[in-house]
A = this chain, B = another copy of it.
Amino acid sequence: MSQIDETQIRSMLEAWAQAVRDIDMDGILANHTEDMVMFDVPVPLQSRGMDAYRKTWDLFFKYSKGGPDSFNLIEIEISAGDDVAFAHGILGIEQTRLRLTVGLRKQNGQWRIAHEHHSYPQEIG
């Protein structure tokens, strides 16, 4: 585990969350692999590639106005190797708590998000 890599990934994820709060689409899309796979809260089951990923955010912003309560990283734990890493944590969106898992690969010395999984737990019974 590398502390430098963990710090780089943490900063990148914080900047990504800030871009969501700012409704800054270029910032949201700035650090992904071209073939990234998204498991978003709403359907579809999965979205593949950056064009499909952008569409998931178009949908998100139909329902969210951004701002300070829209996408806060409340906790995040990062496991980073030399060129593969994953992170999981909890995002605050207004009064709700979203689970986030991210898979990352290092390309040309730069960490890139290759996978995101966003979900809410379901009430049962």
Residue positions of A touching B, CB distance < 8 A: 1, 37, 39-46, 77, 79-86, 88, 90, 97, 99, 101, 103, 105, 114-115, 117, 119-124
Whether the Cβ atoms of B90 and A41 lie closer than 8 Å is: no
24 inter-chain pairs at a CB distance below 8 angstroms, sorted by A residue, are A1-B84, A37-B77, A39-B99, A39-B101, A40-B121, A41-B122, A42-B121, A42-B122, A42-B123, A43-B124, A45-B121, A46-B99, A79-B105, A80-B84, A81-B82, A81-B85, A86-B103, A86-B115, A88-B117, A99-B117, A101-B115, A117-B117, A119-B119, A120-B122
Q: How many copies does the complex hold?
A: 2
Q: Report the bound CA distance from A112 to B85 in whole Å.
A: 14
